[in-house]
Amino acid sequence: MSKKTWSTILVVVLVVAAAIGIYFATRTPEPAPTPSPAPTEAVTEAPATEVPATDVPATDVPATDAPTAAPTEAASAAEAVAAVVATAEVKAGEAEEAVATAAAEAEKKVEETVAKVEEKAAEVVAAAETKVEEAAADVKEEAAEVAAAAEAKVEEAAAEVKEEAAEVAAAAETKVGEAAAAVGAAVAATEEKVAQAVGADKVQVVVWHTFTEDQEKSLSEIAAAYGAENPGVEVLVQSQPRQGFLDKVFNAVRTKTGPNMIINFSSEAAKYIDPANDENTYVIDFQQYMSAEELEAFKASLPAAVYEETVIFEDGKMHIIPVYTSGPILFYNATWFEELGLEAPKTWEELEAVARAIKDKHGVPGFAVDSLTDLANMLMMQGGAAFVDVENKKALFDDAKAVERVQWFADLVKEGVFTLTPTGDYFSNDFNSQLIGSYFGSVAGLPYIQPNGFEFGVAPSVMDGEKWYPAWNRGAIAFKVSEEADKATYDFIRYFTNAENSSKFTQSVVSLSPYAATIELPEYQAYLNAEDINAEGLRAVQAHLQDAGVLPIVSVSATIRTEIERAITRASTGEATAADALKEAVETVNSEWAAN
């Protein structure tokens, strides 16, 4: 309590004490009691009044004889009250002082207590914070454990879901396969019904190809015209991806799911021939459908070298009918040639000189070639090298003349005068970008020449030493399916290669027709003699057609081409000398040939 409160209490006490004193001082006294008989012995000590107890009257003492007791008591009471008041005041002062002291001490105690409480509170807070941190750490640890456990559960659940999903996918795939089979069966049934509706005796001839859209358009138009003239036959022209095309054909033919015909080289037809067993030969012999007169007329319609290629197979039969002829020509940068005062080379020595001049001036290879195999054949055959011994099944293209020519080319590649590998499938892109100065490529590649800021020209390829030119004769190859289908396929091929259709299709592929009847057509002559770069390229091929050479077509012809390309590549990259590379190539070919 405050000092003011204590002072108020003390005053109240004093007032109450004074009131009590006044009360006792002013009240009427009660009658005195009758005294008891006094003892016989005298009182030795008198009271404060010095009056003997026996002399005090009991009652009715006259006022004149002695003072009454009331005034005395009142005075005494007043004195007593005054004393009490004085004492009370003293005590009040002391009390007030004590209260002040007590209050100061209490305040001090309170401050000390507050300080202790604050200190204790700080300790408690610090302890609480420590506990909180410990608890938080525990919570984090527990949370991490919970998270880890949860993650493990999630991974387990995910694994289970994936497993279930895989099972579902497998089941779905099975269902899809079953559905596809059902759809296929339904489609086949529908097609069969349609075929029955339009005539069950219609024969199909399926043609697989990798031609461009324009070339396919020409082929399809010819097929449609044939179908209109022959309602019992339907020719289906089906485009296929270029990548892996020949492998796809080979596997499909072996499993009886392939086409009736393709257009390719005679070396491709040789893959399907077994000269010892006609049952293992998958390609048609066209001679079986020709009379003696028809065969003679057919032979007379073709250049000798082209006809020879149709019957040059090991079994002596005719397994290809020529469709069109092309060959390598020289594409050159006419702007650079004029700048350097160069002319189109006619010999290998001149080709090296031209290529060096371009390399020295422009820092790029002066020459390249699309077909390494045909370049190697040109080098070897014009140099008088041996090739193969068909009778004894031996490859011979590793002789000294072949090694000399191949090493010459390889050395120039390593020197950077020639180059080996295009940035794309062919060197036309590199030529357009002036990454090379010239190259040998097919005349059919003319539509792809789009020079970037320079003029270009074309010229016949090099002819040096013995006359030999690699004419590229593509022909129709037909596969055995059934007697009726095989006859229909042959009949379509003869229609496809008649004079008018040969002219139409060869123009679409920018090539030459090998047939005399076609060459005499006015529209074909106009095509050859046009004043454009395409016609100029075709004339560059024609310049060497009389020197076209035919290499023997044997069962390992495809392997021979592959191994020659591999040998010239190895020699040009420095992996092996020309001698070693060609020797290993011959050994590979002879090993395979002996096994056939």
Tell me what pLDDT residue 502 has: 98
Give whole-number Cα distances, 375 to 50, 180, 549, in Å.
176, 49, 13
Q: Any idea what the CATH number is for the domain that residue 222 is in?
A: 3.40.190.10
Same domain, 288 and 399: no
Asked if the model's pLDDT at residue 92 lies above 80, the reply is: no
- Transcribe 251-316 into DSSP letters: HHHHTT-S-SEEEE-HHHHGGG--TT-GGG--B--GGGG--HHHHHHHHHTS-HHHHHHHS-STT-
- Out of 88-102, 174-188, 415-429, 556-570, pick the least confident: 174-188
> By CB neighbour count within 10 A (0-12 exposed, 13-18 middle, 19+ buried), where does 547 fall?
middle
Which of the given ranges, 35-49, 107-121, 280-294, has the highest pLDDT on average?
280-294
Assigned domain for 542 exists: no
Tell me what pLDDT residue 45 has: 37
Assigned domain for 508 exists: no
Sign of CA dihedral 40, 41, 44, 47: negative
Same domain, 79 and 107: yes
With bands split at pLDDT 50, 70 and 90, how would you rate the model's confidence at 122?
low
With bands split at pLDDT 50, 70 and 90, how would you rate the model's confidence at 23?
low
Which of the given ranges, 48-62, 130-144, 155-169, has the highest pLDDT on average?
130-144
Q: How far apart (Å, rounded) are the C-alpha atoms in residues 211 and 509?
A: 9
Same domain, 266 and 187: no
294 vs 162, which has greater pLDDT?
294
71 vs 511, which has greater pLDDT?
511
Helix (H) or strand (E) holding 129: helix 69-198
Taking alpha carbons only, the member of 451, 441, 422, 446 closest to residue 335 is 451
Read off the tokens for 554. 């044997």
Q: How far apart (Å, rounded) are the C-alpha atoms in residues 365 and 418?
A: 5
Same domain, 361 and 453: yes
Tell me what pLDDT residue 192 has: 45
Choose one of 118, 139, 160: the last residue of a domain.
Answer: 139
Which of the given ranges, 13-27, 131-145, 225-239, 270-284, has the highest pLDDT on average?
225-239
Read off the tokens for 440. 């040998």
Distance of alpha carbon 187 from the chain centroid: 36
HSE-CB of 49 using CA atoms within 13 angstroms: 10
Tell me what pLDDT residue 54 has: 36
Alpha-carbon radius of gyration of the chain: 65
Same domain, 179 and 256: no
- Out of 58-67, 134-143, 374-383, pick the least confident: 58-67
pLDDT digits (tens, 9 = 90+) for 336-376: 999 999 999 999 999 999 999 999 999 999 999 999 999 99
Sign of CA dihedral 247, 250, 256, 257: positive
Assigned domain for 517 exists: no
Tell me what pLDDT residue 555 has: 87
Asked if the model's pLDDT at residue 468 lies above 50, the reply is: yes
Which residues neighbour 114 within 8 Å (Cβ) at sequence distance 6 or greater? none
Tell me what pLDDT residue 43 has: 34
Assigned domain for 4 exists: yes
Assigned domain for 372 exists: yes
> By CB neighbour count within 10 A (0-12 exposed, 13-18 middle, 19+ buried), where does 584 fall?
middle
Assigned domain for 35 exists: no
Domain of residue 436 covers 328-470+556-595
Q: How far apart (Å, rounded) are the C-alpha atoms in residues 438 and 378?
A: 17
Tell me what pLDDT residue 405 has: 97
Assigned domain for 518 exists: no
Over residues 188-212, the mean pLDDT reads 69
Asked if the model's pLDDT at residue 292 lies above 50, the reply is: yes
Assigned domain for 514 exists: no
Distance of alpha carbon 320 from the chain centroid: 44
With bands split at pLDDT 50, 70 and 90, how would you rate the model's confidence at 68?
very low
Over residues 535-564, the mean pLDDT reads 91
Torsion of CA 29, 35, 41, 42, to 10 degrees: 40
Tell me what pLDDT residue 47 has: 35
Tell me what pLDDT residue 402 has: 97
Over residues 446-454, the mean pLDDT reads 93
Q: How far apart (Å, rounded) are the C-alpha atoms in residues 299 and 290?
A: 11
Does this model's pTM top 0.85? no
pLDDT digits (tens, 9 = 90+) for 485-528: 999 999 999 999 999 999 999 999 999 999 999 999 999 999 99
Tell me what pLDDT residue 62 has: 34
Asked if the model's pLDDT at residue 88 lies above 80, the reply is: no
With bands split at pLDDT 50, 70 and 90, how would you rate the model's confidence at 471?
confident
pLDDT digits (tens, 9 = 90+) for 314-342: 899 999 999 999 999 999 999 999 999 99
- Tally of domains within the chain: 4
Same domain, 239 and 359: no
Which of the given ranges, 16-20, 47-51, 402-406, has the highest pLDDT on average?
402-406
Same domain, 436 and 389: yes
Asked if the model's pLDDT at residue 188 lies above 50, the reply is: no
Same domain, 223 and 290: yes
- Out of 14-28, 373-387, 397-411, 557-571, pick the least confident: 14-28
Taking alpha carbons only, the member of 435, 449, 468 closest to residue 331 is 449
Same domain, 339 and 290: no
Is the CB of residue 335 less than 8 Å from the CB of residue 455?
A: yes
Is the CB of residue 326 less than 8 Å from the CB of residue 443?
A: yes
- As beta bridge partners, residue 331 has 439, 458
- As beta bridge partners, residue 367 has 418
Q: How far apart (Å, rounded) are the C-alpha atoms in residues 36 and 259?
A: 168
Same domain, 133 and 188: no
Q: How far apart (Å, rounded) are the C-alpha atoms in residues 204 and 484?
A: 10
> By CB neighbour count within 10 A (0-12 exposed, 13-18 middle, 19+ buried), where does 367 fall?
buried
Asked if the model's pLDDT at residue 115 lies above 70, the reply is: no
With bands split at pLDDT 50, 70 and 90, how would you rate the model's confidence at 582?
very high
Read off the tokens for 460. 């016949």
Read off the tokens for 27. 């009240």
Query: What are the E-state strand segments in 80-182?
Result: none
Same domain, 248 and 188: no
Tell me what pLDDT residue 549 has: 87
Question: What percentage of the chain has pLDDT greater than the value 70?
Answer: 67
Average pLDDT, the chain: 81
Same domain, 311 and 367: no
